[in-house]
Structure 1
Amino acid sequence: MTDALAIKGLAVVFDDFRAVDGVSFSVREGESFGLVGESGSGKSTVLRAVAGLAPIADGTISIGGETISHARSKSFYRRVQMVFQDPYGSLHPRHTIDRALAEPLAVHGIGDAERRILKALDEVGLGKGFRFRYPHQLSGGQRQRVAIARALILEPSILLLDEPTSALDASVQAEVLNLLEDIRRERGLTYVLVSHDLAVVTHMCERLLVMQHGRPVELLTSADLAARRIETAYTRELMVASEGFRREA
């Protein structure tokens, strides 16, 4: 089976700083894969490199077996969409939810906007009553649901999730994570999830790559982590630091 996403020897350099250095991993179609590490480990930069938002100094990125160029095409963004960490900053404050959802459809020349917008809102648990509201009229969890709907409306096959719940209250985090998991199963989507929280990643992902200082440290399955089959001291330290870490093997 062809991997949905394959990254080989990825390096990202800002001026003289190597934010990502020699990262390689592959994600199977329909799999949820995690990138974990402390702040500054380079995990979010990997996602941004895949999305074309960070400069690639070395290495290759392939989608469905096809190596992508540094300039991303419209067809790429039909297949790959990203959900950002901050639901407050990712939505334009003066645009209604309707406009936020209609914009990607217009950019890609996709018709049937009415049906697609209503379907997207329904899929993320927001009714049509939210359609003409503004972001400031929504809670943080509702805004992130809109951001997820905006990513889904183009019907991508891969979602890049950059700390999608870290800006939300703890009571709302589980709701959004469960929503994302339900959508992945229903649509057969592939996820790459970035988080500093091992509990979140092991709940959502089958496999995960631990990163430190822009480099890969250890590739694990969630079952390995639950059984504490860990090879590196750094991963053990992360596990201790991740408060409330619980998972049944």
Structure 2
Amino acid sequence: MTSALSIRDMVVTYDDFAALDHVSFDIGTGESFGIVGESGSGKSTLLRAVAGLAAFDKGSLSVNGRAYSGRHRDRNFYRTVQMVFQDPYGSLHPRQTVDRLLFEPLAIHGLDNVDARIARALDEVGLGAGFRFRYSHQLSGGQRQRVAIARALILEPKILLLDEPTSALDASIQAEILNLLEQARKDRNLTFVMVSHDLGVISHMCERLAVMRGGKVVETVPAQALEKREFSADYTRKLMAASEGFRRS
């Protein structure tokens, strides 16, 4: 399996604090890869470093064999890699209509057939043409996240970075959004990198996962290991037990 994303010895520091400490892994083309760990383990920092939102100080990053530096990302990168953020309330500009939010990336990248692309993107996320000229404050949280996903998909990327994409939503909406993402992955042969604190979400959506603690990867296991309790690290076992305890309560 060829690597869509390869990270080697990535280090991110803030005032001498190592938020990422020599993190390495490869993610195959078309794979859905999860990243789990307690708050402050470095999960979101890793996604932000890949996306260029946080600079990495050491190590290497390559996307489909092309190397990228600590912070610089070119236009080709953003045609290939897009990110969906945790908070659909904060990720959409409140003074722009849905139409404008979807038009902007198309204009930046000089893509044509704008109307058809916007209509297709809205249809793919289950929003009809009636949503096109609404503002984000006129949408529910689930509808806003659908717009955020449409904006990420409209450039036809190959890799989606998903930072807790359902944690800010009501439980009744979470499954709808996860099913939408999974269908998009199948239809487009997308590669997913998904951060979540919810091991249930990761085991449902991902084929492999990395367990992080203190900026380091503790271990990388198949998702089936969560069900079979086949871990080599005590920390993973404790994380699983804590997650199950939280659900029971």
Give the TM-score band, short-chain normalised.
Answer: over 0.9
**What residue is the counterpart of 2:18 in the other structure?**
18
Residue 65 of structure 1: CA displacement? Answer: 1.5
Of the structure 1 ranges 184-193 and 216-225, higher mean CA displacement relative to structure 2 is found in 216-225
Runs of 4+ with >3 A deviation: 243-246
Alignment of structure 1 residues 112-191 onto 2, 5 Å: 112-191=113-192
Residue type matched to 1:150 in 2? R
| CA distance in structure 1 between the aligned counterparts of 2:147 and 2:95, rounded to whole angstroms | 15
**What residue is the counterpart of 1:74 in the other structure?**
75
| CA distance in structure 2 between the aligned counterparts of 1:160 and 1:179, rounded to whole angstroms | 15
**What residue is the counterpart of 1:242 in the other structure?**
243
Structure 1 regions of 5+ residues with no counterpart? none
State how many pairs are aligned.
Answer: 246
Matched position secondary structure for 1:242: helix
| CA distance in structure 2 between the aligned counterparts of 1:110 and 1:243, rounded to whole angstroms | 47
**What residue is the counterpart of 1:96 in the other structure?**
97
Of the structure 1 ranges 33-42 and 62-71, higher mean CA displacement relative to structure 2 is found in 62-71
TM-score, length-normalised on structure 2? 0.96
Contact 1:199–1:245 (Cα < 8 Å) also in 2: no
Identity rate, percent:
67
| CA distance in structure 1 between the aligned counterparts of 2:124 and 2:246, rounded to whole angstroms | 30
Q: C-alpha deviations, 1:200-241, integer Å up to 9, x for none?
A: 001000000000011111111011121000111211111122
| CA distance in structure 1 between the aligned counterparts of 2:57 and 2:15, rounded to whole angstroms | 11
Residue 245 of structure 1: CA displacement? Answer: 8.9
| CA distance in structure 2 between the aligned counterparts of 1:243 and 1:99, rounded to whole angstroms | 42
Matched position secondary structure for 2:57: strand
Q: C-alpha deviations, 1:62-108, integer Å up to 9, x for none?
A: 11122123310001100000000000000001100000000000111
Residue type matched to 2:47 in 1? L
Residue 51 of structure 1: CA displacement? Answer: 0.4
Q: C-alpha deviations, 1:119-171, integer Å up to 9, x for none?
A: 00000000000000011111100000000000000000000000000000011
Q: C-alpha deviations, 1:181-202, integer Å up to 9, x for none?
A: 0100010000000001100001
Matched position secondary structure for 2:192: strand
Residue type matched to 1:23 in 2? V
**What residue is the counterpart of 1:52 in the other structure?**
52
**What residue is the counterpart of 1:3 in the other structure?**
3
| CA distance in structure 1 between the aligned counterparts of 2:188 and 2:60, rounded to whole angstroms | 27
| CA distance in structure 1 between the aligned counterparts of 2:73 and 2:131, rounded to whole angstroms | 32
Matched position secondary structure for 2:2: coil
Q: C-alpha deviations, 1:14-36, integer Å up to 9, x for none?
A: 12111000111111000000000
TM-score, length-normalised on structure 1? 0.96
